[in-house]
Amino acid sequence: MHDAGSTEEHHEPPRSSHRHGVPLQPQRRVNAELEQRLKELAPACRYKVHSIATALQMSERQLRRLVRASFGVSPNCWLRRQRMRAVLALLVEARSVKEVALTLGHLEVSQFSRDFRTQFGCTPSSVLGQPAKLRALAATLQPSDERF
């Protein structure tokens, strides 16, 4: 109990400054920092959750919980969205769909084309080198987009 005449203040013990390897800070700042770090790591880690978790020195489970809490989607969903953004950017200047697919780590060009068609409703070859069409497709990739 606190005595009214006392000059001593009662403070709760400080809480841990880290959770899941990320310092506790205002949530928006943490989300922005996490998103920036993940965007940097994603291409280098071939858009693989395991590789990103390793690079961040955390378990896959920790990364999954952190990404879901921060962005409301699974890491796989978030990474597929980032990969699709990269696909659209590369299709602007690429010489072939195969070049784009291999650059982003797809082993099968046919699977890459199917995934693209499922996401966007057209083939990658139909928009290859067409910036206006690619910008229109990019506009469909909303943050809450769960189609992929």
Among the listed ranges 7-16, 64-73, 103-112, which one has the minimum average pLDDT value? 7-16
At 71 the pLDDT is 87
In 3D space, the residue among 29, 15, 41 whose CA is nearest the CA of residue 70 turns out to be 29
Q: Look at residue 124 in the predicted model and tell me its pLDDT.
A: 97
What is the pLDDT at residue 141? 84
CATH 1.20.59.20 fits 22-138, yes or no: no
pTM for the full predicted model = 0.70
What confidence score (pLDDT) does residue 132 get?
94
Q: What is the pLDDT of residues 73-117, one digit of tens each?
A: 999 999 988 999 999 999 999 999 999 999 988 889 999 999 999
Over range 134-147, report the average pLDDT: 72
For the beta carbon of residue 138, count every other beta carbon within 10 angstroms. Answer: 15
